[in-house]
Structure 1
């Protein structure tokens, strides 16, 4: 199901999205009509709209479109909100200042995520702080990683600093139990932001380089779809599938109250 500005979307409406692929989005997991980090998702949409379109997205109107789309839908499902301008012309993208809100629903898994294996690649996303529609480079590297026998890709800077996963944030647990978030360009994911608001465990932000991996006690991925997911392998470095800090993070994340739509 898809709606544009609260009304059924047409093929003509989607032409600009398909042909220019210019815009931004967020993805949230809805369970029983509520979302963890709903306010953070709306903050992201408003902030990114200023950056991508130089326009002010109406927060309450956007929320009303979301509510219209999910009306009568129960259970657990994924909800993607894409902001784009159907009138945008590839030759004059600077004229695109009338962003519309596309809401898509899709099924969401409920099974606990299995440990993740990942291969590292030197790559920095363009405009890394924005959740924009330019996904080709990430998906290409994800494909390369899968063809090499891994589940996904992790990105590093030219100086060896680890930044993020293809479509998720990455964290580490030091030997003393401190959670370390890599200090490098990365999307400010809503799940990561929720975890960083916790009082425990102790957390910090610091550069993490490939040469530091062998000294880490554990690694994990965070995303709206998976919550806190163990990372069992990065290149040839293996991490435990379970760790007390990962259990603490997972339990604390599940305990964070969801916000009603």
Structure 2
């Protein structure tokens, strides 16, 4: 089911989103009517709406739309809230200032998920601080990684520094503790929650420093804390004690009620 401004979406209204792919979104995992980091997800929508459309988003309406989409459903699902303007003119995007709210949801897999095998790729997302709908580059590199026998891509910037994954943040466990890359990345909600739960540092992570890492993990709302078993040819521990503790602490978060 897809709801546009709280009503069943007319396919014609979605045409602009399909043809221009101009908008922003957040995805949140709902477990028994609760969302870890719900307030942060809503704050992200407000912040990104100002950047993408230059206008304010009525977050109380958004929250109601999400409630309508989920209903009284129990169990786990992933809700995506996409903000776009059906009236956008490709030649004059400056006129796009009437954002609509599309809410979709799907079932979610049980956590934790099995480890990922990733390969590095030179890539930098456009306007990395915004969770925008422009996913072509990220998905292209994910596809290339899968064709090469991996699960996903891990991005490296022009300076040779690790940044993020295709749709997730990445963290590392070194002998000194948890490290989050200092780079131009999306400020993920799950990453922020984990940073509140565990001591950490944020510092540049050059590709050639990976051999000194004990473990690595991907983090986003859908996958939680997911171990990375392989980066290129480097094998990493998937049950490192610090990683296990982070995963369990995250899963123990009760979340906010919708």
The SS at the match of 1:3 is: strand
Query: Which whole-Å CA distance do the structure 1 matches of 2:233 and 2:185 have between them?
Result: 23
Aligned pairs for 1:51-130 (under 5 A) are 51-130=51-130
1:76-105 C-alpha deviation (Å, 9 max, x unpaired): 111000000011111111000000000001
The SS at the match of 1:64 is: helix
Query: Which whole-Å CA distance do the structure 2 matches of 1:70 and 1:235 have between them?
Result: 39
Structure 1 position 257, deviation (Å): 2.4
Query: Which whole-Å CA distance do the structure 2 matches of 1:171 and 1:75 have between them?
Result: 28
Q: How many residues align?
A: 258
The SS at the match of 1:30 is: strand
The reply to whether residue 219 of structure 1 matches residue 216 of structure 2 is yes
Q: Give the TM-score, by structure 1 length.
A: 0.97
Query: Which whole-Å CA distance do the structure 1 matches of 2:200 and 2:13 have between them?
Result: 45
The answer (yes or no) to whether the contact 2:54–2:97 under 8 Å persists in 1 is yes
Structure 1 position 66, deviation (Å): 1.0
The reply to whether residue 247 of structure 1 matches residue 247 of structure 2 is no
Of 209, 229, 235, which residue of structure 1 is paired with 2:226? 229
Unaligned regions of 5+ residues in structure 2, if any?
none
Query: Which whole-Å CA distance do the structure 1 matches of 2:64 and 2:252 have between them?
Result: 27
The answer (yes or no) to whether the contact 2:34–2:254 under 8 Å persists in 1 is no
Regions of 4+ moved over 3 Å: none
Name the structure 1 match of 2:167. 167
Name the structure 2 match of 1:158. 158
Structure 1 position 74, deviation (Å): 2.3
1:166-206 C-alpha deviation (Å, 9 max, x unpaired): 00000000113x100000111111110100112x3x20000
Q: Give the TM-score, by structure 2 length.
A: 0.98
The SS at the match of 1:197 is: helix
Cα separation, partners in 2 of 1:111 and 1:174, compared to 1, 3 Å: closer
Query: Which whole-Å CA distance do the structure 2 matches of 1:153 and 1:249 have between them?
Result: 23
Query: Which whole-Å CA distance do the structure 2 matches of 1:251 and 1:112 have between them?
Result: 9
The SS at the match of 2:153 is: strand
Name the structure 1 match of 2:188. 189
Query: Which whole-Å CA distance do the structure 1 matches of 2:121 and 2:72 have between them?
Result: 43
The answer (yes or no) to whether the contact 2:172–2:178 under 8 Å persists in 1 is yes
The SS at the match of 1:154 is: strand
Name the structure 2 match of 1:27. 27
Structure 1 position 27, deviation (Å): 0.5
Structure 1 position 255, deviation (Å): 1.8
The answer (yes or no) to whether the contact 2:112–2:225 under 8 Å persists in 1 is no
